[in-house]
Homo-oligomer: A and B are copies of this chain.
Amino acid sequence: MSKRKIAVVITARPSYSRVKTVLKAIKNHPALELQLIVAASALLDRYGSAVNYIEKDGFTIDAKVFNVLEGQNLTAAAKTTGIGILELSTVFDNLKPDVVVTVADRFETMATAIAASYMNIPLAHIQGGEVTGNIDEKVRHAITKLADYHFVASESARERVIKLGENPEMVFNTGCPSIDIASEISTVKGLNFNPYQKYGGVGAEPDLSNGYLVVMQHPVTTEYQNSRRHIEETLKAINQLNMPTLWFWPNVDAGADGTTTGIRAFREYHSLEKVHFFKNMEGVDFLVLLNSAKALIGNSSVGIRECAYLGVPVINIGSRQNKRDRGYNVIDVDYNKEEIITAIQTILKNGKAEVSDVYGGGNSGTVIAELLEKLPLQFHKTITY
């Protein structure tokens, strides 16, 4: 019997990291044939050339599609999607996949979703049903309405997709395949690299052998004007605790922002004598670092997802992760120095949190591959209400 052909379209480097274990599981499944299509920014140097990592990891690329229009503006985003549809439909026409898989909610993933659904190819969507309160939501939920199978990362996402009128029998809480990576590193004992040497950074270089805190706090898009005040509460709490702390700069979603300014200004007037600042770190190293930390403080999604699985205690500050499921590892606090300090003290007393598989048990890749083999091939559906 011929294998089921599963086309996965990768359009960006983070999406590749997220679904790498899915790709492996499909590739290794005896009844599946992986058709790997790399497109958009995943092909471009200035976004980190995911294509090189993909090939280094041993995958064969079946088709490449250059479709990013220059301009980095909104018009370019729309046009990139249009070109994507034009080209991916030719690719699908030539590769004739049985199922197409699309990942998450970047604007250009809509091209994959439209080409597949319009061509009556069953469409699987990984990581639908989540809520982020920003522009990605339009894309994410619209793709849900085009997709035939939904591989969601948590129970609340599953419920949301069902509320959107999807047939519950086609909505699967497979966990998030990014947890599979956390699972792989969970057995690493202690830090297996020197972060100061490997990643540079600025500030003190405190001794980490008796434990340390990690901080990662991003500005919240819709609370922009308050982000300086928000970060100051955290800075004051960390300063007062005076424990070894590794602090990661926020991403730069909204350009120059209050968070960055807040940190810079605070450093001028306070010694922060046990705090080291990093710009970035490779994904696997970052997870190893977190796994040995006493706590993660801030509002990163990694605290909600990967740390739930690893049992790393998290002080989650503010509203950014509001509508996401929690494991047993999270204490939610407001932007408030006293609340933050109290929460850290609680954690220091309790130690590691109970492990939770709320975002998956580390085998999402395999589970998804199994489903891709077994699910009935279908592309007709109707809303359930």
Contact = CB atoms under 8 A, between A and B. Distances in A.
B66 A69 contact: yes
B87 A75 contact: no
Interface of A: 43-44, 63-71, 74-79, 81-94, 107, 110-111, 114-115, 117-120, 131, 133-135, 137-138, 141-146, 160, 163-165, 222, 380-383, 385
A85 B79 CA distance: 6
A316 to B, nearest CB: 19
Given A164-B164, A383-B160, A66 B81 contact: no
Number of copies: 4
A88 B85 CA distance: 14
Contacts of A133: 382
A146 B63 CA distance: 27
B86 A70 contact: no
A222 B380 CA distance: 10
Task: Enumerate the 3 nearest inter-chain pairs by beta-carbon distance, A residue then B residue, closest first.
Answer: A82-B85, A82-B86, A78-B89
B90 A66 contact: yes
A79 B86 contact: yes
Given A78-B118, A82-B82, A135-B380, 9 more contacts: A68-B70, A68-B71, A69-B70, A74-B118, A81-B82, A82-B83, A87-B90, A142-B146, A144-B145
Nearest to A61: B94
A143 B120 CA distance: 18
A44 B71 contact: yes
A118 B84 contact: no
B64 A94 contact: yes
A253 to B, nearest CB: 15
A71 B66 contact: yes
A9 B66 CA distance: 21
Contacts of A92: 75
Given A71-B43, A142-B146, A145-B142, A137 B94 contact: no
Contacts of A75: 66, 89-90, 92-93, 119
A211 B222 CA distance: 61
Contacts of A44: 70-71
